[in-house]
Chain A
Amino acid sequence: MLEERHDFKAWIYLLPALILLIVFTFYPIVNTFMIVFMVDYDFLYGDYAGWTLTGNIEAVIGHRQFWPAIRNTIIIAFVSVPMSVIISLFIAVWLNSIKKLQGTFQTIFFLPYVTNAIAVGLAFAVIFNRDYGLFNYLLSLFGIDPINWVAPGAEWRFSMIALLVFITWNGLAFKIMVFLSGLQSIDKQYYDAARIDSASRSRVFRKITVPLLSPMIAFITITSFIGAFKEYTAIVGMFGEQMGHRGQLMTIVGLVYEALGEPYTAGSVSLAASAAIVLFFMTLLLTVFNMWVSKKRVHY
């Protein structure tokens, strides 16, 4: 019903957002891509010594922390995302099946979403403290000797486990909330029909709930993977800007910000841009793969 065209007027309304988007969103995409192909880019004056096709990409791949960062990023994504998706799906289903206290539980489960990852990360670091943390105390009840999880000198595998616990914990809130609202929008008729056929609960879950929720599960999984690829603040919160003992928890985004934190070092900004491009293509690959999978699998 918008038959009239208002070209001029419409662009006036769009203008404030448009200017900001051009300067801080569209231009940066182009510019960051270009920096990747510039030799010795000077971030303050924009000078550069010529063009290179793969020079900066080679530099980032040759960075001593590049492969560890890729490994850490992939481990974080492929462990924390499935764990938090599955746990939150079950919590949402249980939450949806009760009436009393549903609101209270919902509020509690939502807390990690609103609170500050730095502040909560510090609390997790205290819980995972080697000498007086709650976690080591609980392990000691099973006869396990104290483990150094977060402090300087911690082993990589232990730091990674502690980090995965925190990241999974942190990711539950949003997923529970979205799944719950999805469950509440499923037509009750399906469940009534299942009850008449006296289908078992696990059967109802597998044959009705999961298929009908599958678009949402797919959406949450893809956005969570993208989020997990960009994990940074949670690591800084719990382990500090060094990204763990000797940077052993470095991620791709960690490389970006480490390089960007020293913009005056020659080649630093190019390195940041190249790492960002690597992240961009990882994200793109995942998005395309996910779209392909969900076309085949998701029941709409």
Chain B
Amino acid sequence: MSDLVVECRRVTRVYGDDGVAVRALQGVDFRVAKGEWAALAGPSGSGKSTLLHLVGGLDRPTDGTVVVDGEQLNDLSESQLSDLRLRKVGFVFQAYNLVPVLSAVENVEFIMQLQGVEPAQRRERALSVLDQLGLSDIGERRPGELSGGQQQRVAVARAIVTEPVLLLADEPSANLDSATTLELLALLRAINEERGVTIVTATHDPIVMGHASRRVLLRDGRIESDEVMSSPAWHA
């Protein structure tokens, strides 16, 4: 198997019909190697979220192919895509999107329960991840009782507890202040460096871009620039 976790070949995504077609992506080639942290940047409508959704198997390309961890997503059924998302991809959303009726630890357990992990084992793993992320004291609280930063950290815990090969974060700092954003980025950095989890983020936020090891700038559905950061922000 190649060292590539993500490989998009000439990916096009068109929304709408022929009359009012919106070409969100136009023949994009995009690859992410294992252990990279790629930040997809660009103005609104540039196609960064669309690309992220295609890589995460949440959407299908109109043309071109998407391969994640060796699996060509175009060939997968909806059920197989669900399974891939459950076992190989971790998601962190802009609006946290935790299950509101579950406590922090239950939210982290939830995804393992979907995987069929035994109750005792999943509780142990959930508590362990929360502890590693410095969230052990808020494990029993529900999302409504947590700050935005805490909720996003719980969402990160949920995303990594299944040890995915790929972590996708869509505007993860959009609802956070600068200090909390830096805390979150430090967390993602640790996950990327210490656990070797490949990360792709879509962001407007220069602070986030500054922490990624690679910055991919999209404009009008095409990659305008793709640069490896020689000295990410945390190295400064």
* A, B from the same assembly: no
